[in-house]
Amino acid sequence: MGDPAAARLTIDLDALAHNHAVLRAEAKGADVAPVLKSDGYGLGAAPVGLRLWAEGARSFFVARLSEGEALRAAFGPDRPATIYVLDGLTEGAAPRFAAANLTPVLSSLPQIGAAQAAGPMSVALNIDTGMGRQGLAPDEARALVQSTDRLRGLNVGLVMSHLGSGAEPENPRNTRQLTTFLETKALFPKTRASLSASAGTFLGPDYRFDLVRPGISLFGGGPRETPDPRLKAVATLSAPILDIRTLRPGDALGYGESVRIDATTRVAVVAAGYTDGVIRAAKGAGRAWFAGAVRRLLIVNMDMLVIEIDDADAAPGDHVELLGENAPLDDLAAAAGTVAHEILVRLSRRAERIYLGEA
Protein backbone atom coordinates (compact mmCIF):
# COMPACT_ATOMS: atom_id res chain seq x y z
CA MET A 1 0.00 0.00 0.00
CA GLY A 2 1.17 3.47 -0.81
CA ASP A 3 1.72 6.09 1.87
CA PRO A 4 -1.12 8.53 2.38
CA ALA A 5 1.43 11.34 2.52
CA ALA A 6 3.59 10.28 -0.43
CA ALA A 7 5.24 12.76 -2.73
CA ARG A 8 3.97 12.39 -6.29
CA LEU A 9 6.21 12.45 -9.36
CA THR A 10 4.25 13.03 -12.55
CA ILE A 11 6.04 12.41 -15.85
CA ASP A 12 4.24 13.99 -18.77
CA LEU A 13 5.07 12.14 -21.98
CA ASP A 14 3.06 14.61 -24.04
CA ALA A 15 5.30 17.40 -22.74
CA LEU A 16 8.29 15.22 -23.71
CA ALA A 17 6.86 14.90 -27.23
CA HIS A 18 6.40 18.67 -27.36
CA ASN A 19 10.05 19.26 -26.39
CA HIS A 20 11.17 16.69 -28.95
CA ALA A 21 9.28 18.63 -31.62
CA VAL A 22 10.93 21.89 -30.48
CA LEU A 23 14.36 20.24 -30.77
CA ARG A 24 13.50 18.77 -34.15
CA ALA A 25 12.52 22.21 -35.42
CA GLU A 26 15.71 23.73 -34.00
CA ALA A 27 17.86 20.93 -35.47
CA LYS A 28 16.46 21.67 -38.92
CA GLY A 29 17.46 18.63 -40.99
CA ALA A 30 19.74 16.99 -38.43
CA ASP A 31 18.58 13.79 -36.73
CA VAL A 32 17.59 14.17 -33.09
CA ALA A 33 19.09 11.26 -31.14
CA PRO A 34 17.85 11.35 -27.54
CA VAL A 35 20.33 10.72 -24.74
CA LEU A 36 18.68 8.42 -22.19
CA LYS A 37 21.58 7.71 -19.84
CA SER A 38 20.96 7.28 -16.12
CA ASP A 39 17.57 5.67 -16.77
CA GLY A 40 16.40 8.47 -19.00
CA TYR A 41 17.58 11.23 -16.64
CA GLY A 42 15.79 9.41 -13.83
CA LEU A 43 12.42 9.53 -15.56
CA GLY A 44 12.38 5.97 -16.95
CA ALA A 45 14.38 5.12 -20.08
CA ALA A 46 11.76 2.59 -21.24
CA PRO A 47 8.60 4.74 -21.25
CA VAL A 48 10.55 7.79 -22.40
CA GLY A 49 12.34 5.83 -25.15
CA LEU A 50 9.12 4.20 -26.39
CA ARG A 51 7.38 7.55 -26.65
CA LEU A 52 10.34 9.12 -28.47
CA TRP A 53 10.40 6.19 -30.88
CA ALA A 54 6.70 6.86 -31.55
CA GLU A 55 7.64 10.50 -32.19
CA GLY A 56 10.13 9.40 -34.84
CA ALA A 57 13.46 9.08 -33.01
CA ARG A 58 15.54 6.17 -34.35
CA SER A 59 18.95 6.62 -32.67
CA PHE A 60 19.53 6.80 -28.93
CA PHE A 61 22.49 7.17 -26.57
CA VAL A 62 23.03 5.63 -23.14
CA ALA A 63 26.10 5.66 -20.88
CA ARG A 64 26.45 2.09 -19.65
CA LEU A 65 26.28 -1.25 -21.43
CA SER A 66 23.56 -2.42 -19.02
CA GLU A 67 21.49 0.66 -19.89
CA GLY A 68 21.81 -0.25 -23.56
CA GLU A 69 20.69 -3.82 -22.89
CA ALA A 70 17.68 -2.60 -20.92
CA LEU A 71 16.68 -0.14 -23.63
CA ARG A 72 17.05 -2.82 -26.32
CA ALA A 73 14.81 -5.13 -24.30
CA ALA A 74 12.22 -2.36 -23.94
CA PHE A 75 12.25 -1.70 -27.69
CA GLY A 76 12.04 -5.38 -28.60
CA PRO A 77 12.26 -6.72 -32.16
CA ASP A 78 9.66 -4.33 -33.58
CA ARG A 79 11.67 -1.17 -32.93
CA PRO A 80 15.15 -1.65 -34.42
CA ALA A 81 16.71 1.50 -32.98
CA THR A 82 20.42 2.28 -33.19
CA ILE A 83 21.61 2.40 -29.58
CA TYR A 84 25.00 3.97 -28.89
CA VAL A 85 26.83 3.22 -25.63
CA LEU A 86 28.95 6.19 -24.56
CA ASP A 87 31.19 4.12 -22.27
CA GLY A 88 32.53 2.35 -25.33
CA LEU A 89 33.86 -1.16 -25.48
CA THR A 90 35.82 -2.75 -22.69
CA GLU A 91 37.80 -5.97 -22.95
CA GLY A 92 35.48 -8.97 -23.02
CA ALA A 93 32.27 -7.00 -23.45
CA ALA A 94 31.94 -7.52 -27.22
CA PRO A 95 29.60 -10.54 -27.00
CA ARG A 96 27.11 -8.51 -24.98
CA PHE A 97 27.28 -5.66 -27.49
CA ALA A 98 26.63 -8.15 -30.29
CA ALA A 99 23.80 -9.92 -28.46
CA ALA A 100 21.92 -6.65 -27.86
CA ASN A 101 23.02 -5.08 -31.16
CA LEU A 102 24.56 -2.06 -29.44
CA THR A 103 27.02 0.37 -31.02
CA PRO A 104 30.00 1.33 -28.85
CA VAL A 105 31.31 4.89 -28.87
CA LEU A 106 35.08 4.31 -28.90
CA SER A 107 37.05 6.97 -27.04
CA SER A 108 40.60 5.63 -26.74
CA LEU A 109 43.20 3.54 -28.57
CA PRO A 110 42.77 0.57 -26.18
CA GLN A 111 39.03 0.58 -26.90
CA ILE A 112 39.71 0.60 -30.62
CA GLY A 113 42.08 -2.32 -30.11
CA ALA A 114 39.42 -4.23 -28.16
CA ALA A 115 36.87 -3.61 -30.90
CA GLN A 116 39.24 -4.78 -33.63
CA ALA A 117 40.13 -7.90 -31.68
CA ALA A 118 36.44 -8.73 -31.32
CA GLY A 119 35.88 -8.74 -35.06
CA PRO A 120 33.92 -6.66 -37.52
CA MET A 121 31.46 -4.25 -35.94
CA SER A 122 29.82 -0.86 -36.30
CA VAL A 123 31.20 1.81 -34.02
CA ALA A 124 31.23 5.53 -33.37
CA LEU A 125 34.46 7.42 -32.75
CA ASN A 126 34.60 10.07 -30.05
CA ILE A 127 37.12 12.89 -30.48
CA ASP A 128 38.29 15.18 -27.69
CA THR A 129 38.06 18.63 -29.24
CA GLY A 130 38.78 20.45 -26.00
CA MET A 131 36.51 19.33 -23.20
CA GLY A 132 39.33 17.21 -21.87
CA ARG A 133 37.20 14.47 -20.41
CA GLN A 134 36.97 11.77 -23.05
CA GLY A 135 37.85 10.99 -26.64
CA LEU A 136 40.76 10.45 -28.99
CA ALA A 137 43.16 13.32 -29.42
CA PRO A 138 42.86 14.76 -32.94
CA ASP A 139 46.42 13.57 -33.65
CA GLU A 140 45.50 10.04 -32.62
CA ALA A 141 42.54 10.13 -35.00
CA ARG A 142 44.82 11.33 -37.81
CA ALA A 143 47.35 8.56 -37.15
CA LEU A 144 44.58 5.97 -37.19
CA VAL A 145 43.29 7.11 -40.54
CA GLN A 146 46.76 7.27 -42.04
CA SER A 147 47.69 3.73 -41.07
CA THR A 148 46.21 1.12 -43.35
CA ASP A 149 45.00 -1.42 -40.85
CA ARG A 150 44.28 0.28 -37.54
CA LEU A 151 40.59 0.71 -38.31
CA ARG A 152 40.23 -2.45 -40.39
CA GLY A 153 37.10 -4.41 -39.53
CA LEU A 154 35.46 -1.36 -37.94
CA ASN A 155 32.59 0.32 -39.71
CA VAL A 156 32.82 3.88 -38.38
CA GLY A 157 29.28 5.18 -38.77
CA LEU A 158 29.58 8.32 -36.66
CA VAL A 159 32.33 10.73 -35.65
CA MET A 160 31.39 12.76 -32.61
CA SER A 161 32.63 15.15 -29.96
CA HIS A 162 31.12 17.00 -27.02
CA LEU A 163 31.09 20.70 -26.12
CA GLY A 164 32.23 21.79 -22.67
CA SER A 165 30.67 25.27 -22.68
CA GLY A 166 27.69 25.02 -25.02
CA ALA A 167 25.41 26.73 -22.50
CA GLU A 168 27.45 29.93 -22.95
CA PRO A 169 27.00 31.01 -26.58
CA GLU A 170 29.66 33.74 -26.31
CA ASN A 171 32.35 31.50 -24.88
CA PRO A 172 35.24 31.27 -27.40
CA ARG A 173 35.77 27.67 -26.31
CA ASN A 174 32.79 26.77 -28.54
CA THR A 175 34.41 28.09 -31.70
CA ARG A 176 37.73 26.51 -30.77
CA GLN A 177 36.04 23.14 -30.32
CA LEU A 178 34.09 23.63 -33.56
CA THR A 179 37.29 24.37 -35.52
CA THR A 180 39.04 21.30 -34.14
CA PHE A 181 35.98 19.18 -34.85
CA LEU A 182 35.80 20.37 -38.46
CA GLU A 183 39.49 19.54 -38.98
CA THR A 184 39.13 16.07 -37.49
CA LYS A 185 35.86 15.30 -39.19
CA ALA A 186 37.55 16.05 -42.54
CA LEU A 187 39.60 12.86 -41.98
CA PHE A 188 36.33 10.91 -42.28
CA PRO A 189 34.69 12.56 -45.29
CA LYS A 190 31.90 10.03 -45.76
CA THR A 191 31.03 9.54 -42.10
CA ARG A 192 28.13 11.17 -40.30
CA ALA A 193 29.08 13.70 -37.65
CA SER A 194 27.69 14.90 -34.30
CA LEU A 195 28.93 17.65 -32.00
CA SER A 196 26.02 18.99 -30.00
CA ALA A 197 23.99 18.05 -26.96
CA SER A 198 20.97 20.19 -25.95
CA ALA A 199 22.90 23.43 -25.58
CA GLY A 200 24.81 23.10 -28.85
CA THR A 201 21.63 22.35 -30.78
CA PHE A 202 20.63 25.94 -30.05
CA LEU A 203 24.00 27.43 -31.09
CA GLY A 204 23.00 27.70 -34.71
CA PRO A 205 23.55 25.84 -37.99
CA ASP A 206 27.34 25.43 -37.68
CA TYR A 207 26.91 23.19 -34.65
CA ARG A 208 24.21 20.81 -35.90
CA PHE A 209 25.99 18.50 -38.36
CA ASP A 210 24.09 15.26 -39.13
CA LEU A 211 22.86 14.36 -35.68
CA VAL A 212 22.31 16.16 -32.38
CA ARG A 213 22.25 14.45 -28.97
CA PRO A 214 19.91 16.27 -26.62
CA GLY A 215 19.19 15.04 -23.13
CA ILE A 216 18.16 17.74 -20.67
CA SER A 217 16.12 19.88 -23.07
CA LEU A 218 13.90 16.91 -23.92
CA PHE A 219 13.01 16.96 -20.23
CA GLY A 220 12.42 20.72 -20.08
CA GLY A 221 15.84 22.01 -19.03
CA GLY A 222 16.74 25.19 -20.90
CA PRO A 223 19.78 25.11 -23.19
CA ARG A 224 21.21 28.15 -21.34
CA GLU A 225 20.58 26.67 -17.90
CA THR A 226 17.66 29.08 -17.39
CA PRO A 227 13.97 28.34 -17.98
CA ASP A 228 13.17 28.41 -21.70
CA PRO A 229 9.55 29.29 -22.54
CA ARG A 230 9.61 27.05 -25.63
CA LEU A 231 10.09 23.92 -23.51
CA LYS A 232 7.57 22.27 -21.21
CA ALA A 233 8.18 20.71 -17.80
CA VAL A 234 8.16 16.92 -18.10
CA ALA A 235 8.68 16.09 -14.42
CA THR A 236 6.38 17.51 -11.76
CA LEU A 237 7.08 16.76 -8.12
CA SER A 238 4.43 17.60 -5.58
CA ALA A 239 3.79 16.61 -1.99
CA PRO A 240 1.03 17.11 0.56
CA ILE A 241 1.08 19.49 3.48
CA LEU A 242 1.42 17.69 6.80
CA ASP A 243 0.87 20.65 9.11
CA ILE A 244 0.45 24.42 9.17
CA ARG A 245 2.17 26.44 11.88
CA THR A 246 2.73 30.03 12.88
CA LEU A 247 6.24 30.97 13.96
CA ARG A 248 6.81 34.01 16.20
CA PRO A 249 9.59 36.57 16.29
CA GLY A 250 12.53 35.08 18.17
CA ASP A 251 11.72 31.51 17.11
CA ALA A 252 14.36 29.44 15.35
CA LEU A 253 13.49 26.89 12.69
CA GLY A 254 15.23 23.65 11.90
CA TYR A 255 18.55 22.02 12.73
CA GLY A 256 21.23 24.33 13.95
CA GLU A 257 18.63 27.11 14.15
CA SER A 258 19.14 27.45 10.39
CA VAL A 259 16.39 30.06 10.06
CA ARG A 260 15.80 32.79 12.65
CA ILE A 261 12.31 34.23 12.58
CA ASP A 262 12.03 38.00 13.01
CA ALA A 263 8.39 38.56 12.04
CA THR A 264 5.30 36.40 12.51
CA THR A 265 5.54 33.79 9.76
CA ARG A 266 2.93 31.27 8.67
CA VAL A 267 4.52 28.12 7.31
CA ALA A 268 3.49 24.77 5.88
CA VAL A 269 5.36 21.59 6.69
CA VAL A 270 5.39 19.47 3.53
CA ALA A 271 5.86 15.69 3.25
CA ALA A 272 8.91 15.71 0.98
CA GLY A 273 12.59 16.16 1.62
CA TYR A 274 15.96 15.52 0.13
CA THR A 275 15.09 11.82 -0.08
CA ASP A 276 12.57 12.84 -2.70
CA GLY A 277 15.06 14.91 -4.66
CA VAL A 278 14.60 18.39 -3.26
CA ILE A 279 18.28 19.11 -2.81
CA ARG A 280 19.00 20.40 0.68
CA ALA A 281 21.20 23.22 -0.57
CA ALA A 282 18.09 24.79 -2.20
CA LYS A 283 16.87 26.04 1.21
CA GLY A 284 16.73 29.81 1.38
CA ALA A 285 17.01 30.46 -2.37
CA GLY A 286 14.57 27.73 -3.51
CA ARG A 287 10.97 28.34 -4.46
CA ALA A 288 7.85 26.20 -4.40
CA TRP A 289 4.38 26.91 -5.80
CA PHE A 290 1.27 26.82 -3.68
CA ALA A 291 -2.21 28.38 -3.95
CA GLY A 292 -1.32 30.35 -7.05
CA ALA A 293 1.87 31.96 -5.79
CA VAL A 294 5.60 31.38 -5.48
CA ARG A 295 6.61 30.43 -1.92
CA ARG A 296 9.99 30.58 -0.23
CA LEU A 297 11.60 27.27 0.72
CA LEU A 298 12.89 27.76 4.27
CA ILE A 299 14.43 24.41 5.17
CA VAL A 300 14.82 20.98 3.56
CA ASN A 301 15.25 17.92 5.79
CA MET A 302 15.29 14.23 4.89
CA ASP A 303 11.52 13.70 4.84
CA MET A 304 10.08 17.17 5.40
CA LEU A 305 10.52 20.65 4.16
CA VAL A 306 9.04 23.95 5.27
CA ILE A 307 7.72 26.71 3.04
CA GLU A 308 6.42 30.15 3.89
CA ILE A 309 2.72 30.49 2.98
CA ASP A 310 1.70 33.94 4.25
CA ASP A 311 -2.09 34.05 4.53
CA ALA A 312 -2.87 31.47 1.82
CA ASP A 313 -5.83 29.15 2.33
CA ALA A 314 -4.18 25.88 3.24
CA ALA A 315 -5.08 22.59 4.87
CA PRO A 316 -3.21 19.37 5.57
CA GLY A 317 -3.35 17.19 2.48
CA ASP A 318 -3.20 20.10 0.01
CA HIS A 319 -0.44 19.53 -2.54
CA VAL A 320 2.55 21.85 -2.97
CA GLU A 321 4.38 21.90 -6.31
CA LEU A 322 8.09 21.53 -5.65
CA LEU A 323 9.19 21.09 -9.26
CA GLY A 324 7.23 21.60 -12.46
CA GLU A 325 5.69 24.22 -14.68
CA ASN A 326 5.42 26.71 -11.80
CA ALA A 327 8.61 25.71 -9.99
CA PRO A 328 11.03 25.48 -12.90
CA LEU A 329 13.76 22.87 -13.02
CA ASP A 330 16.46 25.40 -13.90
CA ASP A 331 15.47 27.67 -11.01
CA LEU A 332 15.63 24.83 -8.50
CA ALA A 333 19.02 23.81 -9.92
CA ALA A 334 20.34 27.38 -9.61
CA ALA A 335 19.02 27.64 -6.03
CA ALA A 336 20.76 24.38 -5.15
CA GLY A 337 24.01 25.36 -6.87
CA THR A 338 23.80 22.54 -9.39
CA VAL A 339 22.60 21.70 -12.91
CA ALA A 340 19.15 20.56 -13.98
CA HIS A 341 20.59 17.14 -14.88
CA GLU A 342 21.45 16.44 -11.23
CA ILE A 343 18.02 17.53 -10.01
CA LEU A 344 16.33 15.06 -12.38
CA VAL A 345 18.51 12.04 -11.68
CA ARG A 346 18.04 12.54 -7.93
CA LEU A 347 14.26 12.53 -8.12
CA SER A 348 12.82 10.07 -5.74
CA ARG A 349 12.38 6.37 -6.12
CA ARG A 350 10.10 6.79 -3.11
CA ALA A 351 7.62 9.15 -4.76
CA GLU A 352 4.53 7.66 -6.32
CA ARG A 353 5.16 7.78 -10.11
CA ILE A 354 2.43 8.65 -12.54
CA TYR A 355 2.92 8.73 -16.31
CA LEU A 356 0.67 11.00 -18.36
CA GLY A 357 0.23 10.43 -22.09
CA GLU A 358 0.93 7.38 -24.24
CA ALA A 359 4.30 5.65 -23.94
Ligand X SMILES: *Cc1c(COP(=O)(O)O)cnc(C)c1O
The yes or no reply on residue 24 touching ligand X (CB under 6 A) is no
DSSP state of 129: S
Nearest CB to ligand X, comparing residues 24 and 341: 341
Among 35, 124, 144, 247, binds ligand X (CB under 6 A): 35
What's the rounded Cα separation, in Å, for the pair 115 and 137?
18
Residue of 285, 328, 280, 284 whose CA lies nearest to 304: 280
The yes or no reply on residue 211 touching ligand X (CB under 6 A) is no
Helix and strand element counts for the chain (H, E)? 11, 18
Listing DSSP states for 265-317 in one string gives EEEEEES--GGGT--GGGTTT-EEEETTEEEEEEEE-SS-EEEE-TT----TT
Cα angle: 159, vertex 164, 167; to 5 degrees: 115
Among 30, 50, 83, 86, binds ligand X (CB under 6 A): 86
The yes or no reply on residue 198 touching ligand X (CB under 6 A) is yes
CB 234 within 8 A of CB 200: no
The yes or no reply on residue 213 touching ligand X (CB under 6 A) is yes
Q: How far is the CB of 200 from ligand X (least distance, A)?
A: 8
What's the rounded Cα separation, in Å, for the pair 151 and 93?
19
Among 215, 220, 222, 328, binds ligand X (CB under 6 A): 215
Residue of 352, 333, 353, 349 whose CA lies nearest to 341: 333
Q: How far is the CB of 297 from ligand X (least distance, A)?
A: 25
Nearest CB to ligand X, comparing residues 116 and 196: 196
**Residues with catalytic function:** 37, 255
Among 193, 216, 234, 344, binds ligand X (CB under 6 A): 216
Among 47, 214, 222, 324, binds ligand X (CB under 6 A): 214
Q: How far is the CB of 37 from ligand X (least distance, A)?
A: 6
Q: How far is the CB of 87 from ligand X (least distance, A)?
A: 10
Q: How far is the CB of 78 from ligand X (least distance, A)?
A: 26
The yes or no reply on residue 341 touching ligand X (CB under 6 A) is yes
CB 33 within 8 A of CB 209: no
The yes or no reply on residue 162 touching ligand X (CB under 6 A) is yes
Nearest CB to ligand X, comparing residues 35 and 300: 35
What's the rounded Cα separation, in Å, for the pair 282 and 95?
45
Chain residues that interact with ligand X, rule: CB under 6 A: 35, 37, 86, 162, 197-198, 213-217, 341
